[in-house]
Amino acid sequence: MKKLIALMTAFLFLFGCATTIIKSKPSGAEVYIDKKLVGKTPYTFSSTAPAASKWMVTLKMEGYNDDIGQIKKNHPDWGAIILGCFFLWPLLWWADFPPEYNFEMEKIESKPTDLPTKPQVAPPEKPTTSPPVTSSTVVTVTWTSANIRSGAGNEFPIVATVNKGDRLTIIGERGEWFNVRSEDGKEGWIKSGVVK
Whether the per-residue pLDDT at 40 is higher than 90: the answer is: yes
Q: Kindly state whether residues 13 and 100 are assigned to the same domain.
A: yes
Residue 117 lies in a domain: no
Q: Do 29 and 85 reside in the same domain of the chain? A: yes
pLDDT digits (tens, 9 = 90+) for 103-125: 888 888 765 555 556 666 666 66
pLDDT band at 43 (very low <50, low <70, confident <90, very high): very high
Q: Is 72 part of any domain?
A: yes
Domain range enclosing 160: 138-194
pLDDT tens profile 59-101 = 999 999 999 888 888 755 555 555 555 555 555 555 676 888 8
C-beta separation of 56 from 66 below 8 A: no
Q: Rounded to the nearest 5°, which phi and psi values hold at 108?
A: -75, 125
Whether residue 130 is contained in a domain is answered as no
Domain count, the chain: 2
Q: Which residue in 19, 63, 15 sits closest to 43, CA to CA?
A: 19
| C-alpha span between 113 and 117 (Å, rounded) | 8
The reply to whether 133 falls in a domain is no
Output the domain CATH number for residue 98. Answer: 2.60.40
Q: What is the pTM of this model?
A: 0.42
Output the pLDDT for position 133.
45
Name, in order, each residue with C-beta under 8 angstroms of 33's C-beta and a sequence gap of 6 or more.
45, 55, 56, 57
